[in-house]
Amino acid sequence: MSDESLLQPIDGRLGPAHWLPENRAVEMADEVVLRVLGAERVRARPSRWALAAGLVLFLGATATGFAMYALHARKSATPPVEPAPASHTERRGAHAFTEPVVPPTPAPEPEPSPPASDPTPEVAPVRGATPSVRAATSINRGDPRVMLQGANELRTQHRWREAAAAYERISLDFPSSDEAYSALVAAAALYAEHLGRPQRALRLYGQALHQRPDGPLTQEVRWGTIAAERSLGNREAERAGLAAFLAAYPDSLFRAQAEQRLKEMANTP
């Protein structure tokens, strides 16, 4: 067989992408739609209970954010903050690490602009060819703080997939906002801990670390990265991550856990 005969025009038949079960394909499509159009209930007018819950979440998260920031700045022996009220207490296997908090982060830093998506010859230079389309596509794009509250609400309802998609939308729609960084970390944690997608978690953690190498959630990001590497069976990366984590955060509450895991790894081939 020659390369020319194989390098045929792209199509949607089987290959070269690995085969995907139908249910997974449907899940992927659902996630794409969620990330672009949001969860339907989030768009509805929030009830008084939802508003109250959002306020509690926001205040708790704010307090947590400042506590995390102080912790990070001092690198002191202060125990890591408790998860925000939105957090649940479930833990699973290798991901039995901390759940990232979702605070509005202090001291916003400039971030790289998102990559240009598609100025192809088919693409109009200005978004929104018609007013009706503009209105429709902007229906879910509002205040990132409100979106963050909505995502937190979904998380409290254990609607993990919708919550992860909502968090990701914040980082997509408002990449330079303070909320985007927190949302990235929260989405990564959901992918790792509840959605069985450590690969995606790893990518989002990497993105968060790249955006804010010294951000207030860096400790959580690095810990989550280690957990994701473990889930993926990347022992060397996990080992290196644990060693680096212990060096960077000698007073961390996770120290005992990290040391224990390193010992286990040393005793098993």
Partner 1 sequence: MTPMPAPHQEPIPRDDPRIARAAAGDRGAAKSLVLTLLPRVRNLVRYLAKGDSDTDDIAQDALVTVLRDLHMYRGTGPFEAWCDRVVARLTIARLRRERSRGTKLSFDDRPDLIPIGAAWSGEHYFERRLLARALDALPVEQRQALVLHYVMGMSVTEVAEEIVVPEETVRSRLRLGKEKLRERLAPGENRGEP
Residues that bind partner 1 (CB under 8 A): 1-4, 6-22, 25-26, 28-33, 35-37, 40, 115-118, 120-124, 127-130, 132-134, 136-137, 139, 172, 199-200, 203, 206, 210, 232, 234, 237
Q: What are phi and psi of 93, to 5 degrees?
A: 35, -120
Contacts of 88 (CB under 8 A, 6+ apart): 99, 155, 156, 158
To the nearest whole angstrom, how small is the minimum distance from the Cβ of residue 150 to partner 1? 17
Please say which residue, 53 or 151, places its beta carbon nearer to partner 1: 151
Q: How far is CA 13 from CA 1, 22, 39, 46, 174, in A?
A: 19, 14, 31, 44, 36
Q: How far is the CB of 17 from partner 1 (least distance, A)?
A: 4
Buried b (16+ CB within 10 A) or exposed e, 58-84: bebbbbbbbbbbebbeeeeeeebbebb
Report the nearest approach of partner 1 to the CB of residue 136 (Å). 4
How many whole angstroms from its chain centre is CA 109? 19
Output 68 or 164, the one with its CB closest to partner 1: 164
Q: Please say whether the beta carbons of 105 and 68 come within 8 A.
A: no
Rounded Cα–Cα distance for residues 148 and 38 (Å): 12
Nearer to partner 1, 77 or 123 (CB): 123
Q: How far apart are CA 54 and CA 58, in angstroms?
A: 6
Question: The tokens 């690969």 sit on which residue?
Answer: 199
Of 95 and 200, the one with the shorter C-beta distance to partner 1 is 200
Specify whether the CB–CB gap between 60 and 86 falls below 8 A. yes
**Least distance from partner 1 to the Cβ atom of residue 115, Å:** 4
In the complex, what is the shortest distance from the CB of residue 205 to partner 1, in angstroms, rounded to a whole number?
Answer: 11
Least distance (Å) between residue 183 CB and partner 1: 15
Structure tokens at 188: 């990564």
Q: Which is nearer to partner 1, 200 or 261 (CB)?
A: 200
Return the number of the residue (2 or 47) whose C-beta is nearest partner 1.
2
